[in-house]
Structure 1
């Protein structure tokens, strides 16, 4: 396997610039490597926050003496990211919009802008690396050298066609390095704070969902055996694994371990009932190979901030896979993504559609 580094044979490159410090420093790094950089700010929403980000990006480009372009893509963002997020919650999922956004909106729109601007390559400020497998020639994402900032999980849905055209200038950098370089260059965004996880929601996501018409009807709280314990205020108000705010008194804390949208039931259990044995992943995107030919022993992350754990991945009918965890793990939620690793290399990943909890499985029999 060989890390894909800078290749300035094609000198002109489109860099996605969000107005933050990471993309600003990426521009400087690419310029030092010999690229002709064009800063591209994708406007995913039509609001003052996006326009302010575009102004910050333009100020950086002016300081660095590079071209800046604004690419309007709010319709694609609504279609590919916001709409599926709302629909997912309405169907009982807990979506992870940033993962799908990279592959379905952010990178495709940046590459479309690159084509328009005469750039064969595109770059982003993600903390990750790209490598090429020597035997197959396939492209894979690798973890950043700074494990605390690694965003490889968020890039697990990128396709071969996308990876072939991408450059990640910050793959070998730390956040401290980036801040120092930004200050040394006098960039106006050197001290700009980190952006929030879900960029299109200000405040409580439940208010956003209500505004989008997602009903939030009260219902019953039950244990894994179906015993009614109380009432809930609406299923979208609760998160799988939640402990506080359930509103049921007991000798030990209850946790949310499931949601039954067909019955409008919130399922709770004690801590030992929160552990899961397997998850089912629908139609995973494989980067390291075309398809899963045989059971795969690897590591998996069940949430962005979770640690990798050992598992065995088995093919199922219809293109899905079952991920059998070597040891029980804290529960995750359908709608989150499972991402598979071998060492630092992303093998692939996909959306979790089923969570195997021993307590819930027993209650269903």
Structure 2
């Protein structure tokens, strides 16, 4: 097969490309330039997509003896990932930029261009697994190393995208083995630190970065009863579950810490309260997509075409995960076709959590699993506790 290896400049993508070469594929390496003004050097493990990363990717390709190219996706990244991040925070939601990058850049724009150029698949260093079922349908599953599993951020991939995706690290039992392999192969990135935090905010100061992009204005911090307990410099800089940086002028009656429970950008208010009120047991998601073919229960009860009125699918058991490194919890879910407010119907995902989760925020992504298989994902529109009234 002709394989396009996405080379981030890290050890995972380098070893993945090496394994693709060993498997006999015709491999070409490509590094995505996601910024017109990248930093010249990384700061430890913070950030990625820098000039240093580009050079590391080139050295890896040179060592492997494969062609190397740099593709400029900076404008697409700026619009589809960075601006989306700003817009979501401006609306009081907490987005996941890695989900958007995988959805719109690495497995939409990149894959689309690769196929147009005659490549059969895109190879990446993600820790996840693509499995073909007995009917020839592609499924996305967790990697062998659950500690490094990245199937959550790949939950946006469609069946067609999975058909052209290659994850050579799927069955690797640990990251230590990947580094050891890189060292045996003489790859200079063998000991390079993993990148973390948001790549376009390498110093990790999300609030400070947003303050330069979103017009902030001071407003009230209120408790769950609506009483003012402090002021904030801008509601958009807060996230649900946040404890630090609240600077409340009025302590809680019981003296215990308070957490952000809700953000109301239209009112420019931040609602705080005790940690117990962060527990969420019902999630409603929009922008639903399936990773592979939907399971039968998710379609049962919903006509395939000509739907003119609301409908809902059967309820199915699953596990729900709302953070890349969060623990999945048992849940029950169903698909509901509801009025979008404009006279049309849209698919929504209703997830009832059997074990409550804390700090769930609109804008995050809920990914559903059955065993190791990723069923699909949705963007969280609302999250609430069934045991308490709305704030």
TM beyond 0.5: yes
For the residue of structure 2 that corresponds to 1:319, the secondary structure is strand
Structure 2 segments unaligned to the other structure (5+ residues): 40-49, 301-313, 339-345
Query: C-alpha deviations, 1:214-254, integer Å up to 9, x for none?
Result: 12211111122212222122113322111222223231111
> Given the alignment, which residue of 311, 314, 317 partners 1:297?
317
1:327 maps to which residue? 355
2:224 maps to which residue? 224
* Matches of 2:58 and 2:368, distance apart in 1: 38
1:306 maps to which residue? 326
2:308 maps to which residue? none
Structure 1 residues 346 and 125: alpha-carbon distance in aligned structure 2, compared to 1, 3 A threshold: same
State the shift of 1:289 in Å.
3.2
* Matches of 2:390 and 2:7, distance apart in 1: 50
Is the 1:143–1:345 Cα contact (8 Å) retained in structure 2?
A: yes
2:274 maps to which residue? 270
TM-score of the pair, normalised by structure 2: 0.86
Query: C-alpha deviations, 1:6-36, integer Å up to 9, x for none?
Result: xxxx2x2110001111111112111111112
TM-score of the pair, normalised by structure 1: 0.91
Is the 2:159–2:290 Cα contact (8 Å) retained in structure 1?
A: no
Q: Is it true that 1:40 corresponds to 2:30 in the alignment? A: yes
* Matches of 1:166 and 1:151, distance apart in 2: 14
Q: Which has the higher helix share?
A: 1
* Matches of 2:102 and 2:292, distance apart in 1: 18
For the residue of structure 2 that corresponds to 1:256, the secondary structure is strand
Is the 2:159–2:293 Cα contact (8 Å) retained in structure 1?
A: no
State the shift of 1:117 in Å.
4.6
1:3 maps to which residue? none
Q: Is it true that 1:124 corresponds to 2:124 in the alignment? A: yes
State the shift of 1:113 in Å.
4.2
Structure 1 residues 77 and 363: alpha-carbon distance in aligned structure 2, compared to 1, 3 A threshold: closer
Q: Is it true that 1:13 corresponds to 2:3 in the alignment? A: yes
Aligned-residue RMSD, C-alpha: 1.7
**Which range moves more in the overlay, 244-253 or 120-129?**
244-253
Q: Is it true that 1:172 corresponds to 2:167 in the alignment? A: no
Q: How many residues of Structure 1 are paired with residues of Structure 2 in the alignment?
A: 351
For the residue of structure 1 that corresponds to 2:36, the secondary structure is coil
Structure 1 segments unaligned to the other structure (5+ residues): 1-9
1:357 maps to which residue? 385
Q: Is it true that 1:109 corresponds to 2:109 in the alignment? A: yes
State the shift of 1:64 in Å.
1.4
**Which range moves more in the overlay, 346-355 or 195-204?**
195-204
Q: Is it true that 1:28 corresponds to 2:18 in the alignment? A: yes
State the shift of 1:288 in Å.
4.4
1:5 maps to which residue? none
2:68 maps to which residue? 68
Is the 1:138–1:287 Cα contact (8 Å) retained in structure 2?
A: no
Is the 1:281–1:321 Cα contact (8 Å) retained in structure 2?
A: yes
* Matches of 1:270 and 1:108, distance apart in 2: 42
State the shift of 1:109 in Å.
3.0
Query: C-alpha deviations, 1:282-308, integer Å up to 9, x for none?
Result: 031112434543111110002212101
* Matches of 2:325 and 2:225, distance apart in 1: 31
For the residue of structure 2 that corresponds to 1:58, the secondary structure is helix
For the residue of structure 2 that corresponds to 1:355, the secondary structure is strand
Query: C-alpha deviations, 1:191-224, integer Å up to 9, x for none?
Result: 1111123111132122322332x12211111122
